[in-house]
């Protein structure tokens, strides 16, 4: 039997293929809910930090506890999903993070917040390896970038909805009720997911000895430069997203004087820009492939084009008005989301569907650890200096991420053929 990293891919169940667009839009829903859950704290951070007397360093530790478990579970969760299958793995994850979100309504200290955010990260990390795996199972190469753009855009829409809705729930019912609301959303999604995703997935048809072969295949997997292109690329780009996701509401409050209502009115706009970036990257890559450009060359070209707008973080930090800063942040998040779509598509381009979740998970581990470190640094920088140095780093990291993808995915590398 060939190693999971070899070129041959197992046939995809015809039912998965026929339902692929229903499945990807359901994955959009899980990603949206995932971000509403995690953004509840970020949006309410100005209120919660005053209520519980939290410093910026304490907030960074709470954010960092989420990122630490989130990054570790990307790898472990990806392996778990490759072994048990997408349907069960994502069902388990959504139940987990929904319960943890509801329990967060009872916290009363930084320590309890950190503990529950750590648990939340464990559940939420399953979403992207699982969604990437489903795309690899259901979609041919020419459709994958659009499929990834659809489900990944749920993060932007979820962030925007959280910025719009959560402040008003907090104003009306208190900030604790907002965590209960975000937790209930996952239970509704679960019923839809179980109806859409077929019971007999590709995991059920695996040959005898798959588990043993799967673990044996990790050695060759880690020797491939393409693996490290994906890991390094995400490790140097994802911290940019985390910076805006975690710190944007607090930045608008601290540096630009926004109230909670003003955050609700304006903090959602950059996430809509990110949503447009998801589709710009996905559709742009798809158009290049349709015109005859090799798949991997198209992905690289979009990565290069996406890194340029992320540099707008530098003038954003120096902008004279809050609305000029917001506009430039929108440009940066547009670029990030386009880049992210390519980074999440590359594993399904380069590897067999049997290991896509694991490769995505390995890259998520690197991204989570790098994001944790950057988040902790941002808290200390803001307490001692200002947000400006963090904006400069957020602008420059994607340049190195793009370089890693260009140089480690060598010219002539062939993607894994898709078999349907």
pLDDT digits (tens, 9 = 90+) for 179-194: 888 888 888 899 999 8
pLDDT for res 331: 94
- Measured distance CA(63)–CA(48) in Å, rounded: 13
pLDDT for res 370: 87
Are 248 and 111 in contact by the 8 Å Cβ rule? The answer is no
For the chain, the maximum distance between any two Cα atoms, rounded to a whole number of angstroms, is 64
Region 74-89 average pLDDT: 79
User: For 7-11, 18-22, 52-56, 166-170, which range has the lowest pLDDT when averaged over its residues?
Assistant: 7-11
Region 159-171 average pLDDT: 84
Band of residue 303 on the pLDDT scale cut at 50, 70, 90: very high
Is pLDDT at 201 greater than 60 in this prediction?
A: no
- CA nearest 333: which of 365, 225, 37, 341? 341
Q: Pick the residue with more confidence: 218 or 20?
A: 20
3-state DSSP call for residue 76? helix
Report which listed range, 16-25, 106-115, 154-163, 303-312, is most confident: 303-312
At residue 52, what are phi and psi to the nearest 5 degrees? -100, 5
Is pLDDT at 419 greater than 80 in this prediction?
A: no
Band of residue 77 on the pLDDT scale cut at 50, 70, 90: confident
Q: Return the sign of the alpha-carbon dihedral for residues 292, 296, 299, 300.
A: negative
Is pLDDT at 9 greater than 50 in this prediction?
A: no
Region 389-402 average pLDDT: 90
In 10 A of CB 229, how many CB atoms? 24
Band of residue 212 on the pLDDT scale cut at 50, 70, 90: low
User: For 111-115, 311-315, 415-419, which range has the lowest pLDDT when averaged over its residues?
Assistant: 415-419
Band of residue 29 on the pLDDT scale cut at 50, 70, 90: very high
Q: What is the DSSP letter of 176?
A: H
Six-digit token string for 116: 């529950």
Q: What is the mean pLDDT of the chain?
A: 81
Q: Return the sign of the alpha-carbon dihedral for residues 40, 42, 43, 49.
A: positive
At residue 412, what are phi and psi to the nearest 5 degrees? 95, -5
pLDDT for res 13: 52
pLDDT for res 349: 81
Band of residue 163 on the pLDDT scale cut at 50, 70, 90: confident
Is pLDDT at 68 greater than 60 in this prediction?
A: yes
The position carrying tokens 């607090």 is 250
pLDDT for res 210: 55
Is pLDDT at 360 greater than 60 in this prediction?
A: yes
User: For 137-141, 165-169, 202-206, 352-356, which range has the lowest pLDDT when averaged over its residues?
Assistant: 202-206
* pLDDT tens-digit map of 233-277: 999 988 888 888 777 878 888 778 888 777 777 877 888 898 899
Band of residue 413 on the pLDDT scale cut at 50, 70, 90: low
Band of residue 118 on the pLDDT scale cut at 50, 70, 90: very high
How much is the pTM? 0.69
Band of residue 45 on the pLDDT scale cut at 50, 70, 90: confident
Region 279-291 average pLDDT: 87
- Measured distance CA(405)–CA(303) in Å, rounded: 8
What are the structural domains, with CATH classification, of the chain?
14-408 (1.20.1250.20)
pLDDT for res 328: 92
pLDDT for res 270: 86
Percentage, residues of the chain above pLDDT 70: 88
Report which listed range, 11-20, 109-118, 409-418, is most confident: 109-118
């Amino acid at each position: 039997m060939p190693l999971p990293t070899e070129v041959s891919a197992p046939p995809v169940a015809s039912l998965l293929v026929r339902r692929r667009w229903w499945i990807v839009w359901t994955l959009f829903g899980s990603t949206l809910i995932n971000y509403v859950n995690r953004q509840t704290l970020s949006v309410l951070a100005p209120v919660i930090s005053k209520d519980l007397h939290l410093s910026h360093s304490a907030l960074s530790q709470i954010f960092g506890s989420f990122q630490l478990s989130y990054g570790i579970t990307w790898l472990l969760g990806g392996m778990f999903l490759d072994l048990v299958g997408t349907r069960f793995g994502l069902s388990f994850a959504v139940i987990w993070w929904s319960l943890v979100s509801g329990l967060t309504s009872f916290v009363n200290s930084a320590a309890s917040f950190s503990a529950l955010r750590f648990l939340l990260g464990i559940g939420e990390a399953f979403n992207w390896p699982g969604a990437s795996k489903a795309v690899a199972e259901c979609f041919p190469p020419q459709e994958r970038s659009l499929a990834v753009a659809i489900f990944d855009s749920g993060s932007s829409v979820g962030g925007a909805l959280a910025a719009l809705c959560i402040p008003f729930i907090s104003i009306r019912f208190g900030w604790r009720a907002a965590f209960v609301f975000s937790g209930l959303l996952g239970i509704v999604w679960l019923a839809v997911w179980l109806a859409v995703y077929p019971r007999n997935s590709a995991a059920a048809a695996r040959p005898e000895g798959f588990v043993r072969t799967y673990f044996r295949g990790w050695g060759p997997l880690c020797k491939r430069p393409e693996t490290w292109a994906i890991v390094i690329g995400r490790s140097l780009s994802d911290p940019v997203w985390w910076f805006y996701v975690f710190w944007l509401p607090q930045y608008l409050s601290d540096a630009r004087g926004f109230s909670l209502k003003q955050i609700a009115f304006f903090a959602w706009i950059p996430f809509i820009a990110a949503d447009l970036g998801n589709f710009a990257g996905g559709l742009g890559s798809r158009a290049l492939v349709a015109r005859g450009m090799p798949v991997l060359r198209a992905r690289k070209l979009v990565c290069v084009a996406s890194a340029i707008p992320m540099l707008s973080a530098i003038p954003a930090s120096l902008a004279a008005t809050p609305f000029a800063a917001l506009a430039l942040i929108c440009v940066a998040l547009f670029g990030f989301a386009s880049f992210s779509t390519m980074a999440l598509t590359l594993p399904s381009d380069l590897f067999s569907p049997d290991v896509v979740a694991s490769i995505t998970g390995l890259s998520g581990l690197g991204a989570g650890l790098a994001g944790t470190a950057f988040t902790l640094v941002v808290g200390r920088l803001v307490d001692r200096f200002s947000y400006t140095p963090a904006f400069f780093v957020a602008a420059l990291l994607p340049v190195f991420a793009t370089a890693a993808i260009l140089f480690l995915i060598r010219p002539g590398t062939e993607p894994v053929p898709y078999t349907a």
